[in-house]
Amino acid sequence: MNSKYAYSALSVLGLVASAWAAGRVFQAPPPAGHPTMKVAPAAQALHNQMSKLTMAAAKKGEYDCCINPPCEFCAVHMAKCPCGKNLAAAKAVCRECKGGWDVGEGRIAGIKPENVKAMSAQQVMQMMHSTSAAAKPAPPAKPMATKTSSGAAYRRPK
């Protein structure tokens, strides 16, 4: 085979493979909490809390981290991790997850680290506020204040 034609065939194959990969739909990884790891004695209590929090969120399907071991940024700031779902939908991930991908710790097959985008500080703040606003319970209704016939204020019992 002529090397000119072989090179052309490889170029076409590369374009076809790129087009296929670009249209590929990725699945978010299964939820997973933090593994039990050996940590410094002074950090053990914090590690135990993080593990408990992420395992509980994973059981509810709310800790879909895209790296292994899972990030801590999302756990600390939101008590859940949407990065796996974000990445599967071609959206940006938290900075810790981006760093994990850069060192080969990604857990969604077929995604190249150079294609993973990190959220800006503004995007992170928006995500944190939207999550915390949804998680906050409504404040209790205040009892109505009423005045007596003499003009003194009192609160009506519940």
The 10s digit of each residue's pLDDT in 59-111 is: 999 999 999 999 999 999 889 999 999 999 999 999 999 999 999 999 999 99
**What's the pLDDT at 81?**
93
Across 36-50, 68-82, 140-154, least confident range: 140-154
90 conformational bin, left if phi > 0, alpha if psi -120 to 50, beta if neither = left
Torsion angles phi and psi, residue 67, rounded to 5: -125, 165
pTM above 0.85, yes or no: no
Cα 127 to Cα 156: distance, rounded to the nearest angstrom:
40
The DSSP symbol for 18 reads H
Residue 69 preceded by cis peptide, ω within 30: yes
| Rounded Cα distance, 62 and 88, in Å | 15
